[in-house]
Copies of this chain bind each other. A is one copy, B any other.
Amino acid sequence: MTDQSTPQAPAPALPRQSGSGNGSSGAGVSRRRLLGTAGATGLVLGAAGAGVGHATAPAAATPLTALGARRAMFHGKHQPGITDPLQARGHLAAFDLAAGAGRKEAAALLRRWSATAERLMAGEPAPHDDTAVARDAGPSSLTITFGFGHSFFDRTGLRGQRPAALDPLPDFSSDHLDKARSDGDLWVQIGADDALVAFHALRAVQKDAGGAARLRWQMNGFNRSPGATAHPMTARNLMGQVDGTRNPKPSDADFARRVFVPAGGEPAWMAHGSYAVVRRIRMLLDDWEKLPLARQESVIGRRKSDGAPLSGGTETTEMDLEKTGEDGSYVVPVNAHARITRPDQNGGAAMLRRPFSYHDGFTADGAPDAGLLFICWQADPLRGFVPVQRKLDRGDALSQYIRHEASGLFAVPGGAAKGEYVGQRLLEG
């Protein structure tokens, strides 16, 4: 035991605490909650726990400030969960409006969902019938994000407000899509650094749906835990590949233009919103893992160990597409995934990828049902996902090791102002 009994001790470095300059996140700590927890349990910070068995030293609690207290903001110009750091746990869910439910019921549902998201993201109980599953944790970087699918506009009589950008994605030859796990009237993305916080939010969202909407599909995902790796900027996927190196950065001059619909764009209710393309991409890991390292690296075009391009340098070094080896062939092969997906190879097309990995056990033949819940964000899918995927579809060396099994495209409106709910400008416009 130490004499440090205040929960206000300085926290360790919290690089995941903030958003990325989009105004959706803050470094706020729910002080009331923190003090409440501390009061109830005699929380002690700074105790040197090394060598002390957890069961014999309950007072040496891991401080809530370390992870639980991190908070993203619900209100803002953009919805949360787009530029916020990747969270350790994620749930994706799509809902269809119930028979007979229309614009009015949808508006009431989005109002309920927004109230729930605002409360839970602050570490407070849900407004109705809170299950208390996550009562003693803080927000744990929880984000809840809402979107509308193509079919939503038919069912609510809002066809005139449907963005052209929601037109169905083209068919790709490599698609093996399960319709039952694709699309949907409404889409909810939940992320948090604690599994119970994320589950609690998923259940609250499902309860709020009540009789107005029913679950269409739901998927679970994960990323690394904060602190497990010194690579917080880029993630590793289940192929072991560093993923996300070339993501647009908020500091890029054209970041907002690429990712968010501008004010004054069409339709007006989508101002500051974004379009999410969601793909469940199965990785054929048994085949992939049989490849020698050098072959894996030539499929991707980057080194596995650190994500550096095969043309040399470190992870963030610009890839030299023209560099040739002694035999005269390109060092980064013409069908390498990283070459094909480069914006300058796709007329400048760029999207912000913010995925979760998934693993739902094994199929009957022992192959892992695992891969990537690919989620990408862009102001216009026709200048983001579509041209890149078209090109991948024609010649990506990676394509034989992956399979797109489900797909969705959702219009994610801008963030709610105080007193407003997400989608209000559409539903009451």
Which positions in A face B, CB cutoff 8 Å? 11-21, 27, 37-38, 40-41, 43, 45-58, 60-68, 83, 85, 88-89, 129, 131-138, 140, 193-197, 199, 203, 206-207, 214-215, 218-220, 222-233, 236, 238-240, 247, 249-251, 285, 289, 304-306, 316, 357, 359-362, 366, 368, 370
Contact = CB atoms under 8 A, between A and B. Distances in A.
A116 to B, nearest CB: 15
A354 B230 CA distance: 29
B54 A233 contact: yes
Given A88-B195, A195-B88, A225 B15 contact: no
Contact of A15 (B61, B138, B140, B220): B61
A43 B129 contact: no
B21 A247 contact: no
Contact of A195 (B12, B57, B224, B366): B224
B13 A238 contact: no
A13 B45 contact: yes
A20 B60 CA distance: 14
Nearest to A225: B194
Contact of A218 (B136, B215, B236, B361): B361
- 9 residue pairs, one from A and one from B, having the closest CB atoms: A15-B49, A67-B227, A66-B227, A194-B228, A20-B53, A27-B50, A195-B222, A132-B240, A133-B240
Contacts of A19: 53
B14 A50 contact: yes
Contact of A136 (B40, B64, B220, B231): B231
Contact of A236 (B15, B196, B249, B250): B196
